[in-house]
Structures are given as C-alpha cells and as structure tokens.
Structure 1
Amino acid sequence: MAMHRRLAEADPADFGPGPAEALHGLAAQLPAADRDEALALAEEAVAILRAYATGDPATHQPGLAGSLHLYGGLLVRAGERDRGLEVIRDVVERYRSLAEALPGRFDTSLARSPSDLGEGLGDARRYEEALTAYEAAVEVYQKQAQSLDDLGH
C-alpha cells in the first residue's frame, strides 16, 4: 500500500481514486482492536476523495460520501461521538443532494445514513434529534416501497 500511495502522490491523475478505495476497504475490514489504524486509513481515504470530488464532483461525490460514512461511524465507535455525528450529518446532506440529482440511485444510502445518525444521537441521549433522523429514514423507505408497489400495478 505504501508504494501505491507514493505513486499516486507522484502522479494523481494516472491513479485516480484507487488508493482511496483501497484504504476505505482496508479500514472497513480491520478488527476493532485496530481501531486507531482504521481511523487513520479512513481519514486518509476521505482526504484523497475530497480532493478528487473538488475537481470532479459528479464522479467522486458518491465515493466520498461512502468513505465519510465509514469514517463517521469509526469516530463514533472510537468515542469521538460528537465529531463522528457531525461527519454523519454531512453524509446525510451529501446523499440528499445525490438523490435529488439522480433520483432512485442513492435512496438506500439516503435512508441508511439518517438511520445511523439516529442511532448515534439516541446513544448520546439526544432523543428528539434521533427521532427526526429516524423519521427521515422511514420517509425514504416508504418512498422506495411506494415505487416498488407502483411497478407492480
């Protein structure tokens, strides 16, 4: 991975977001005992994808949103709840924008991210905010169910 990073830093246009995708995958697979390493890898993936998303948002926003979602969850599990919840709030907004731009394509992610936000807020005993987040998730799931029902009739 270190060689891949060095090559990507030397010529990012040739490597694209590949190193970030590899870092994201590795961070997602590390066991809980390697939480610090997972956080570092996820943070590095976010930094790479953020740079690509700045240059080409249409292509790289979905990957950035996914990596931010992982990073936010890792922060929450590492005891950095407030910081993690802010990252997940950002993810919710990113998926909302993506779902508006491409209806139907990001509905599952749009529902999952406020649900995860609701879980974190509930754990923090911020119940009103958690309820609002869960209601947003339910609304998206209901729209998905209606769309499926419409296809069947």
Structure 2
Amino acid sequence: MSDTWDERIAAYWASADDARPAAALSEMRALVEERPADDPEALYEWASVHDFLGREHEAIPLYRAALDRGLAGARKPQAVIQLASSLRNTGEPEAAVELLRAQPSDEVTGDAAQAFLALALHDCGRHDEALATATRALARTLPMYRHAVESYAEALTERSGDA
C-alpha cells in the first residue's frame, strides 16, 4: 500500500457516512491503531469521528488530549474549533468562548473560529457581541461596504458594553 496515513485519512473522510456509525468507528479505529496510542494526530482523528457521529461528550477529552500532546500544523486550528463547537453543543458555551477568543484566522480554517465564537456568544446570551463578531468576520470578505459594516459592528460592541 503506497498511500500515506494522511492520504488514507483524507480518503476516509471523503467517504465517511454518519448513517453507518459502527462502520465509521471501525474504519477509523483501524487507521488510528496504526499510530502510537499517544499520537496527537491519531487522537485528533479519533476525536473527529466521535464528533462527526454526534458523540461530542466522547470527543471532548480526545481533542484535549491531542492538543495537550502537541497537535500542530493544519489539524491544530481545526481541533480548537471542533473542541469549542463540541463544548458549546454540550452546554459549555463559556468554555467555547474562551477557546475561540484566542484563535486567529488562518489559511486552513479562515474565519471559522469567528463564526463558532459568534454562536457560542449567542448561547451565552451575549447577542450584540455575537452579531458584532459575525459581522466583523463578514466585513473582511466584502468588496464594497466594508467600512460601513465594520462601523455597525463597532456600534454593536459599544452598545453591549464590551468596547
């Protein structure tokens, strides 16, 4: 077999089917078991399949373990975003906010962290701050009206008292 582990992981995700959870877990387990038990990339992929299948409570400690063991590269920002999303989905939106506030935009995830931050802020009842966060991220993509949209986002931030 000449495919690298990363290529086989990519192929797995290209065909992953959440309607077949047992098969999804079994197939990913086989890939993960090719790596050492404490391999951060394998832990991340194992967390991701749990998350994909709606098993966020199981995914959370796996994401944390991957990050604690030095997950790096393109997977790291994805792990932070996915961990924060899982925390939000399991009733811990404040923890998600804390993770996402420090997550910069990057080439892999773009402004996805800002989108998930807006959702977490909304869940925390911080609606103006959530809308301002989403609007700021959107403003960066606008070929026209960027300044106006940024100004409206700033006004929302001031109104919410988070200036």
Task: Tell me if the contact between 2:93 and 2:120 (Cα under 8 Å) persists in the aligned partners.
Answer: yes
From 118, 129, 134, give the equivalent of 2:131: 134
Question: Deviation string for 1:42-88 (max 9, x for gaps)?
Answer: 13222122222223343342232232233223223xxxxxxx22122
Partner Cα distance (2:41, 2:76) in 1: 17
Task: Tell me if the contact between 1:53 and 1:61 (Cα under 8 Å) persists in the aligned partners.
Answer: yes
Partner Cα distance (2:90, 2:40) in 1: 31
Partner Cα distance (1:11, 1:25) in 2: 21
Partner of 1:19: 46
- Percent identical among aligned pairs is 12
> How many residue pairs are counted as aligned between the two chains?
117
Task: Tell me if the contact between 2:40 and 2:66 (Cα under 8 Å) persists in the aligned partners.
Answer: no
- Stretch moving more, 18-27 or 1-10: 1-10
Partner of 1:72: 87
1:45 aligns with 2:59: yes
Structure 1 residues 45 and 107: alpha-carbon distance in aligned structure 2, compared to 1, 3 A threshold: same
Q: Relative contact order (alpha carbons < 8 A, sep ≥ 6): 1 or 2 greater?
A: 1
1:95 aligns with 2:107: no
Partner Cα distance (1:8, 1:56) in 2: 19
From 99, 116, 120, give the equivalent of 2:119: 116
Structure 1 residues 68 and 13: alpha-carbon distance in aligned structure 2, compared to 1, 3 A threshold: closer
Deviation for aligned residue 1:138: 0.8
CA RMSD of aligned residues (A): 3.4
Partner Cα distance (1:133, 1:85) in 2: 12
Deviation for aligned residue 1:110: 2.7
Q: Could you state the TM-score of these two structures normalised by the residue count of structure 1?
A: 0.57
Task: Tell me if the contact between 1:65 and 1:91 (Cα under 8 Å) persists in the aligned partners.
Answer: yes
Amino acid at match of 1:47: P
Task: Tell me if the contact between 1:20 and 1:49 (Cα under 8 Å) persists in the aligned partners.
Answer: yes
Task: Tell me if the contact between 2:50 and 2:59 (Cα under 8 Å) persists in the aligned partners.
Answer: yes
User: Which entry has the higher C-alpha Rg, 1 or 2?
Assistant: 2
